[in-house]
């Protein structure tokens, strides 16, 4: 294996540059694996940024990939420490933007060292990592953006500078006024990603920069497939999202999903094995989703009253100490967090898992029939590929926008009402969970999800649109 790595390192390579966070990393690794399946004459090198704040632990996953895929090499960049002023706490995205700007000299250095031993055919960076464009231009390396969010979100980002010019006020002041992005259903102003809401916010400028940078790469890869978002894709490729400049060609190469992420207890899978077919509703909220103690209690009460079987991943609430807001939370004390006697009373009805579950394996299990999700794009694609219908409970990043698209455009989820305002009553949890598992609406969602899963498999198969798009890119890189 070592010998093979050395041989590959001396040859051609494609560099992948994900932004920090498990969701971004997983998608990038899957992209690397998918490229390698096409047997290209080059290796994959992943630049791994290390942040001092909570972006989820990626170490076990990275170790697993390193040991299983000899043609994938990680370059572990030196950690960057960001001083955080606790009196003026920024968004998570603000930290990411700051971090990735500071990271640029390290990226430059890594690319220079790598180019001593390898010929870099292309850099694929995720949309937050736009600062790499300048370095790539200096080094004459073609750059491709990889959007780990849906095409609908890409359409919104591409159109954002235009919308900014047309709107005299901060979007937060428009409350629920519908905004009209090309190729999307009307989106309430309050549902656009948080950093886009306030034009006095540092993150707002970061998003404007990110959006402007999207016209610079040689192409944009998206983790989606043609049949899932035809309207948004048409708007992007027709240039409706950027009226005053050409939009780079777009390649839909998804769905890319990771079957194995190398961490968390698998005990819950044994438990699922003892449950009836399609009877379980799974509740899991991404790598960073946290709820207040009061909200955890509402969920517990709603679940118990729904009488539906459940598997629920519970994390500790966010720390009340502002200086700890961006640090990982400790293991939850379930007895203290959940209502008195809840665990005992629901023993035959459900299982609570601490902090992390093997989500893809859970969703693929025959006992699982519904998913309450935070609408992170990886989670959505994983549910879709497993044919599991969703209840949309968005929490952060672009998830409120994803919710609108999932519910209004794709018809793959029902909304958890109240989530968009940050508070969901127990009655709503009870009603939605029961509705998902038992109602005609839930049944219709299940059927549409199964149809979309079949279309996803077609896109990925021989002669499918996603496979063809990646094959075409691989051919272009080989020639460069």
Nearer to ligand UDP among residue 196 and residue 235 (C-beta):
196
Residue 120 interacting with ligand UDP (CB under 6 A): no
The conformation of residue 420, written as its DSSP 8-state character, comes to G
Q: Which member of 20, 23, 182, 389 binds ligand UDP (CB under 6 A)?
A: 23
User: How far lies 81's CA from each of 55, 99, 181, 187, 328, in Å?
Assistant: 13, 8, 37, 36, 15
Nearer to ligand UDP among residue 312 and residue 342 (C-beta):
312
Q: Which member of 359, 449, 466, 474 binds ligand UDP (CB under 6 A)?
A: 359
In sequence order, the β-bridge partners of residue 221 are 146, 251
Residues contacting ligand UDP: total by CB under 6 A: 21
Residue 22 interacting with ligand UDP (CB under 6 A): yes
Q: How far is the CB of 148 from ligand UDP (least distance, A)?
A: 7
User: How far lies 109's CA from each of 20, 116, 200, 300, 386, in Å?
Assistant: 19, 11, 34, 50, 41
Q: How far is the CB of 362 from ligand UDP (least distance, A)?
A: 8
Q: How far is the CB of 260 from ligand UDP (least distance, A)?
A: 9
Q: How far is the CB of 39 from ligand UDP (least distance, A)?
A: 26
CA 226 to chain centre: 18
Nearer to ligand UDP among residue 123 and residue 284 (C-beta):
284
Nearer to ligand UDP among residue 306 and residue 373 (C-beta):
373
CA 430 to chain centre: 27
Nearer to ligand UDP among residue 8 and residue 257 (C-beta):
257
Q: At what angle do helices 230-237 and 151-166 cross, to 10 degrees?
A: 50
Choose the binding region for ligand UDP from 100-108, 193-201, 317-325, 357-365 (rule: CB under 6 A): 357-365
Q: For the CA atoms of the chain, what is the radius of gyration?
A: 22
Binding mask 266-295 for ligand UDP (x = CB under 6 A): ------------------x-xxx-------
> How would you classify the pairing of strands 350-354 and 309-314?
parallel
Choose the binding region for ligand UDP from 15-23, 32-40, 200-208, 444-452 (rule: CB under 6 A): 15-23
Name which of residues 337 to 356 contact ligand UDP (CB under 6 A).
356
Name which of residues 212 to 271 contact ligand UDP (CB under 6 A).
258, 261
CB 415 within 8 A of CB 392: yes
Two tokens, residue 102: 């500071």
Nearer to ligand UDP among residue 8 and residue 419 (C-beta):
419
What CA–CA distance (Å, rounded) separates 68 from 44?
A: 13
Nearer to ligand UDP among residue 271 and residue 356 (C-beta):
356
Q: How far is the CB of 19 from ligand UDP (least distance, A)?
A: 10
Nearer to ligand UDP among residue 142 and residue 262 (C-beta):
262
Q: Which member of 338, 357, 385, 470 binds ligand UDP (CB under 6 A)?
A: 357
Residue partners of 79: CB distance under 8 A and separation at least 6: 50, 51, 52
The conformation of residue 390, written as its DSSP 8-state character, comes to E
Dihedral sign (CA 300, 303, 306, 310): negative
CB 154 within 8 A of CB 232: yes
Residue 30 interacting with ligand UDP (CB under 6 A): no
Of 420, 417, 412, whose CA–CA distance to 432 is shortest? 417
Q: Which member of 21, 219, 332, 394 binds ligand UDP (CB under 6 A)?
A: 21
Choose the binding region for ligand UDP from 78-86, 171-179, 190-198, 378-386 (rule: CB under 6 A): 378-386
Name which of residues 302 to 331 contact ligand UDP (CB under 6 A).
313
Q: Which member of 14, 15, 26, 460 binds ligand UDP (CB under 6 A)?
A: 26
Q: Please, what is the end-to-end C-alpha distance for the chain in angstroms? A: 28
Residue partners of 148: CB distance under 8 A and separation at least 6: 18, 23, 24, 27, 28, 126, 127, 223, 377, 378
What CA–CA distance (Å, rounded) separates 46 from 38?
A: 18
H/E segment holding residue 223: none
Nearer to ligand UDP among residue 48 and residue 360 (C-beta):
360
Q: Which member of 213, 298, 382, 420 binds ligand UDP (CB under 6 A)?
A: 382
Tracing tokens 């998830």 back to the chain, one arrives at 399
Phi/psi for 369 (5° steps) reads -125, -5
CB 366 within 8 A of CB 282: no
Interaction site with ligand UDP (CB under 6 A): 21-23, 26, 258, 261, 284, 286-288, 313, 356-360, 376-379, 382
């Amino acid at each position: 294996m070592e010998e093979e790595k050395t041989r590959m390192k001396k040859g051609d390579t494609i560099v992948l540059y994900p932004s920090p966070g498990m969701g971004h990393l997983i998608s990038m690794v899957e992209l690397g694996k998918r490229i390698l399946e096409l047997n290209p004459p080059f290796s994959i090198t992943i630049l791994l940024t290390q942040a001092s704040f909570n972006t989820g632990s990626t170490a076990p996953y990275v170790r697993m990939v390193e040991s299983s895929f000899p043609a994938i090499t990680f370059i572990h960049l030196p950690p960057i420490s960001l001083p955080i002023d606790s009196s003026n706490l920024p968004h998570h995205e603000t930290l990411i933007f700051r971090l990735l700007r500071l990271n640029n000299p390290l990226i430059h250095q890594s690319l220079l060292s790598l180019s001593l031993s390898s010929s870099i055919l292309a850099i694929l960076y995720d949309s937050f990592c736009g600062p790499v464009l300048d370095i790539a231009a200096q080094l004459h390396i073609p750059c491709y953006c990889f959007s780990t969010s849906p095409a609908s979100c890409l359409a919104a980002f591409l159109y954002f500078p235009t919308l900014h010019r047309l709107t005299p006020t901060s979007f937060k002041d428009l409350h629920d006024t519908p905004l009209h992005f090309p190729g999307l259903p009307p989106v309430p102003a309050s549902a656009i990603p948080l950093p886009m809401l306030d034009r006095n916010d540092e993150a707002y400028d970061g998003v404007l920069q990110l959006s402007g940078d999207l016209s610079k790469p040689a192409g944009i890869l998206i983790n989606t497939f043609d049949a899932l978002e035809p309207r948004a894709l048409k708007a992007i490729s027709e240039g409706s999202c950027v009226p005053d400049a050409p939009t780079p060609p777009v390649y839909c190469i998804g769905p890319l999903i990771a079957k194995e992420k190398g961490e968390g207890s698998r005990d819950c899978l044994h438990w699922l094995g003892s449950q009836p077919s399609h009877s379980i509703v799974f509740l899991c909220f991404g790598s960073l989703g946290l709820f207040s103690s009061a909200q955890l209690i509402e969920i517990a009460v709603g679940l118990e009253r729904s009488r539906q079987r459940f598997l629920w991943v519970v994390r500790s609430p966010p720390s009340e100490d502002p200086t700890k807001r961006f640090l990982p939370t400790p293991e939850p004390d379930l007895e203290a967090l959940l209502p008195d006697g809840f665990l005992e009373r629901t023993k035959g009805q459900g299982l609570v898992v601490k902090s992390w579950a093997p989500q893809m394996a859970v969703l693929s299990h025959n006992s699982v029939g519904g998913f309450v999700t935070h609408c992170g794009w990886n989670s959505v694609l994983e549910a879709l590929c497993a044919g599991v219908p969703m209840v949309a409970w968005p929490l952060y990043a672009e998830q409120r926008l994803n919710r609108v698209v999932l519910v209004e455009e794709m018809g793959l989820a029902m909304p958890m009402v109240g989530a968009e305002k940050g508070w969901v009553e127990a009655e709503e949890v009870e009603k939605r969970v029961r509705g998902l598992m038992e109602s005609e609406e839930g049944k219709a969602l299940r059927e549409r999800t199964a149809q979309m899963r079949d279309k996803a498999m077609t896109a990925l198969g021989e002669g499918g649109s996603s496979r063809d798009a990646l094959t075409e890119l691989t051919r272009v890189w080989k020639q460069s």
